[in-house]
Structure 1
């Protein structure tokens, strides 16, 4: 099945930083600030949801590469969001520009790669 996606598709995901989102709770650091793995997850979610409405039933995407920098700390209680823009399509390979912000500043930037999968075939390969 041929899936047509074009560069330029964008999506934004947002949340309020909770204590469960902190580096201390996540185990990635000692500070009670928004954890890098949580920021990456928000970026991946934005990328995944950017294209999900363009895929046929039974297809989705999986993350395969993340190259980001966490630029600045964010306190618990602050709103954060990630923006993803599809910048490259190579058959089933999708590359996104991802950026993250809090209420005051840019907190992260980078790229994220995903691949389009047939969910049944993908899960069948795991057995």
Structure 2
């Protein structure tokens, strides 16, 4: 199955104290934290690709460029939507438009890119890196 431009994904949550800027250390106030908004945007993109992958494949984020433009207080629902805007020849790299919302409107926008990987090869690369690091210590 081929990934198509226009494919969409969505992820949502309710803002709790655990997903605030003060909880993650990216700010000192208790509003929805930018790192969590970014994670939600990546999650929306990831969910849109899952139907196209077999059990040996996964995706990893390779680039994200976003603006977080409005605060969201604890208790409000937030969600992110993704839309595929480009698929490279061979289908390995996928570009997305991402937008985050709360119940009052848009809170963030940007672009995101993911790469399709073979899970076993990717995990071997990580394990090899760890072994090299341990050997160098």
Q: Where in structure 2 are the equivalents of 1:1-127 lying within 5 Å?
A: 4-90=2-88, 91-126=91-126, 127=128
1:11-53: CA deviation from partner (whole Å, max 9, x where unpaired): 1111000100000011000010000000000000000110111
1:53 and 1:5 map into 2 onto residues whose CA distance is 9
TM-score, structure 2 as length reference = 0.89
Q: Greater helix percent: which structure?
A: 2
SS at match of 1:106: strand
**Cα distance in 1 between the residues matched to 2:49 and 2:58:** 9
Please provide the CA RMSD for this pair: 0.9
Q: Which of these two proteins has the greater Rg computed from alpha carbons?
A: 2
* Deviation beyond 4 Å, 4+ runs, structure 1: none
5+ unaligned residues in a row in structure 1: which ranges? none
